Structure 1
Amino acid sequence: MTDGTVRSHTQSMAADRVSAATGKAPDDWYERIDAIDGRSIGHAAIAAWLVQQGVDPWWAQGVTIGYEQARGLRIPGQRSDGTFAVSASRQVPGEREAVLDQVVPVFSAAFGSDPTSERRGGKRPSARWTFPDRESVLVTTEDGTRAGTVRISTQRERLVGPDRMPEAKAQLQSLLAGL
């Protein structure tokens, strides 16, 4: 999907950041992954192999996704299970739990139901709504980049195809804008 709904891995994770974090440029990793038959061994095996090479697990996931997109094994927004996801975020003044308390009623009204689960406390309080078609929305709150702010991150997950991504992302953005 190249309509701007989701960014490709190369658009969202600069090669110099990958190199600094992993010791190799993405293209160097992709060649090494090709050499271990990356096109056929699957996402989990690639990520595990990268961790064995000393790559931090978070970066291993990123390199794996970049490889899969570069080799045409998945398109931006597609998960390793074949479903799709979109995200949107916003930074607002406040405290994590208090902001989540403001977000939950807005999202519950939009979805016509209360969250199916909530996690309070910790660094990322969250709420999740799971729908009968198995799609779900996850909202997390965490400290923002500026003192006294909270970053609200939302994800619509388990979308059955890329055609759902623009509408789902627009809804998340609209809900966040209304806060």
Structure 2
Amino acid sequence: MTDGTVRSHSQGMAADRVLAATGRSPDDWYERMDAVSGRTIGHAAIAAWLIEQGVEPWWAQGVTIGYEQARGLRIPGQRSDGSFAVSASRQVPGEREAVLDVIVPQCTAAFGFAPTSESRGGKRPSARWTFPDRESVLLNTEDGSRADTVRISVQRERLTGPERMSDAKAELQGLLAGLRQ
């Protein structure tokens, strides 16, 4: 398992919310997934099956991840491809692209090189830094939960194993704590 650096899906997605959004409890979905060979058909097939049952795609992904963790098919922080990822977020005053314009140079200084890609416009302007070992950092900005705020989310992806999660999470939290607007 993990050291608690990353919450399990059940800790982050309340059963009552799953029930309200999908019409069934997680345990009910998990029993149904077992009946359609969920333990062996893979993530994409499970999510597709849920969508066929009328579950919205976002919820289908969440229920699938919850199932995979509940059945021991993946641990918290593990992706369907076997790699690991951690994330952190912070809400700041401002507008999405203006915040990105301020943060990208700070991240560039911290990582020692410019982003390998940037996406402007849309609901989630972003930048990505890909390291020589193939790990990457994805920085997104999106409207915050309060007026005139931006939610900055940063994710370290393609970690090679769960032993990297604690250090990578601390690095992201430190990066966000040190950002200046």
TM-score after normalising by structure 2: 0.97
- Distance in 2 (alpha carbons) for counterparts of 1:59 and 1:145: 20
Give the match for residue 61 of structure 2: 61
Give the match for residue 174 of structure 1: 174
Which residues of 2 match residues 140-159 of structure 1 at below 5 A?
Answer: 140-159=140-159
Cα deviation 1:112-147 (Å, max 9, x = unaligned): 100000001111100000111111100000111111
- Distance in 2 (alpha carbons) for counterparts of 1:63 and 1:129: 30
Give the match for residue 33 of structure 1: 33
- Distance in 2 (alpha carbons) for counterparts of 1:35 and 1:52: 15
What displacement does 1:108 show? 0.7
Secondary structure at the counterpart of residue 146 of structure 1: coil
What displacement does 1:177 show? 0.3
- How many residue pairs get aligned? The number is 179
What displacement does 1:110 show? 1.1
Q: Which runs of 4+ in 1 moved over 3 A?
A: none
Matched, 1:133 2:128: no
Give the match for residue 84 of structure 2: 84
What displacement does 1:4 show? 2.4
**Match of 2:41, as an amino acid?**
I
- Distance in 2 (alpha carbons) for counterparts of 1:5 and 1:107: 22
Secondary structure at the counterpart of residue 140 of structure 1: strand
What displacement does 1:165 show? 0.3
Secondary structure at the counterpart of residue 153 of structure 1: strand
**Match of 1:145, as an amino acid?**
S
Identity %: 82
Cα deviation 1:41-99 (Å, max 9, x = unaligned): 00000000000000001100000000000000000000000000000000001111110
Give the match for residue 16 of structure 1: 16
Consecutive unaligned residues of structure 1, counting only runs of 5 or more, are none
Give the match for residue 106 of structure 2: 106
**Match of 1:36, as an amino acid?**
V
- Distance in 1 (alpha carbons) for counterparts of 2:107 and 2:4: 24
